[in-house]
Homo-oligomer: A and B are copies of this chain.
Amino acid sequence: MVKFFGVRELLELLRILGVEEFLSNLIRYIRDDYLRWEQFEKIARVASHSPQGVIELMPICDDELYTFKYVNGHPVNTQSRRLTVTAFGVLADVRTGYPLLVSEMTISTALRTAATSALAASCLARGGSTVMALIGLGAQAEFQALAFKAGLGIRKLQVFDVDPAAVAKFNANMRGLGMEVVSAGSIAEAVHGADIVTTATAAKRNAVILTSDMIGPGVHINAIGGDCPGKTELDRDLLARGRIFVEYLPQSRVEGEIQQLSVHSGITELWEVLAGKRPGRLSAADVTIFDSVGFAIEDFSLLRYLDDLSKTMNLHREIDLVPLLEDPKDLFGLLRALPASQPQRAGRAG
């Protein structure tokens, strides 16, 4: 049997553990995997483009575990009240090739993106950071806020979105979660006095959400909205001024903010900083930029964490995705063994 985490099980996990506890643990899983960077086989993602959007498969593996994520990106979906991005993932055993676990990853991707942002900020932002500006209050915003609370102790948010409904939604969702939320009238106002600036807008093209004059010395920028070709959030001058950190350079060159730069710019991969191979922040005055596009290792960590949780919490379902056979050469025997009567089945459609 294969373990299954549907939306229901994932929400139940989050309810029982608490979102911040889940994020704190996930940050550790992602850190542990980034520290094993060289043990991973980094396989190119496979994208299939259509006029409406893109469907991608993102595989990765080490010697023991293989994972892949199915993820789509369809901006038109919001017109029909569907999600722009949905995802699910699979964890498999490299030694047998058998799938072990299937999980929803629409919610999980928001969690792992936020956990990765907090992990990067924990080694790039100034120590003692307490105030974060949050620009763009879409589907990712609350997860980012809670990851920075759990991972860095951020307590105050200065937020902005062009859409008042998004601001209202964010304020309602954050109520009672132990963070002070201040709504700003502009991006510049939100950014003013913040130690960390997170940009998570849905800009569909090369937008300029942040310019260099908005950003004082010492600020850490967590740029998660610019994540595909032709979609960026930061001004080129700001990029030129900051010290830039990415997940995986070959992918970020195509998808990240750094698609705006020449290939010769000095850019550091996050794992190098975590492993102590290259420096992160050099001085309190540095502007550091985490140009995040999302990388398969983070999905791997999430699925590995869920698999570990399944062993202690037993909240998952099991699905018969792979047959169990007495004799592996007798696949047809399954049909012969079929009982004539209809078995009792739970969760039947209709």
By a beta-carbon cutoff of 8 Å, the part of chain A in contact with chain B is 1, 3-4, 6-8, 11-12, 14-15, 19, 41, 43-44, 46, 48, 50, 52-55, 57, 59, 61, 63, 66, 68, 70, 72-74, 77-78, 80-84, 86, 88, 90, 92, 94-99, 102, 104, 106-107, 110, 138-143, 166, 169, 172-173, 310, 314-336, 338, 340, 342-343, 345-350
The distance from the CB of A111 to the nearest CB of chain B, in whole angstroms, is 10
Min CB–CB distance A199 → chain B (angstroms):
16
Q: How many copies make up the complex? A: 2
Evaluate contact between A82 and B98: CB separation under 8 angstroms. Answer: yes
A46 touches B50 (CB 8 A): no
Knowing A323-B7, A331-B106, the reply to whether A68 touches B70 (Cβ < 8 A) is yes
Provide the bound-state CA to CA distance between A88 and B104, in Å: 16
Chain B contacts for A84, CB-based, 8 A? 328
Complex contact B347–A83 (CB within 8 A): no
The answer to whether B328 and A83 touch across the interface, beta carbons within 8 angstroms, is yes
A19-B335, A57-B57 known, 9 other contacts, Cβ within 8 Å: A53-B96, A54-B97, A55-B66, A86-B98, A86-B99, A106-B322, A139-B330, A139-B332, A173-B330
B169:A6 contact, CB within 8 angstroms? no
Q: What residues on B are CB-neighbors of A8 within 8 Å? A: 320, 343, 345
User: What residues of B have a CB within 8 angstroms of the CB of A97 in the complex?
Assistant: 52-55, 72-74, 77, 86
Task: Knowing A72-B98, A97-B86, say if A48 contacts B55 (CB, 8 Å).
Answer: no
| A332 with B173: CB separation less than 8 A | yes
Contacts of A59 in B (CB 8 A): 46, 48, 55, 57
Residues on the B chain within 8 Å of A340, using CB: 15
Question: Can you list 6 pairs linking A and B with CB atoms under 8 Å apart?
Answer: A1-B349, A12-B338, A14-B335, A43-B46, A106-B322, A139-B330
A105–chain B nearest beta-carbon distance, Å? 9
CB distance from A83 to the nearest CB of B (A): 5
Inter-chain contact B11/A329, CB cutoff 8 Å: no
Return the contact of A95 from the options B52, B310, B314, B347 (Cβ within 8 A): B52
B61, B78, B317: which contacts A348 (Cβ < 8 A)?
B317
In the assembled complex, the Cα of A151 lies from the Cα of B322 at a distance in Å of 28
**Cβ-defined contact, A319 with B6, below 8 A:** yes
A70 touches B52 (CB 8 A): no
A3 proximity list for chain B (CB < 8 A): 349
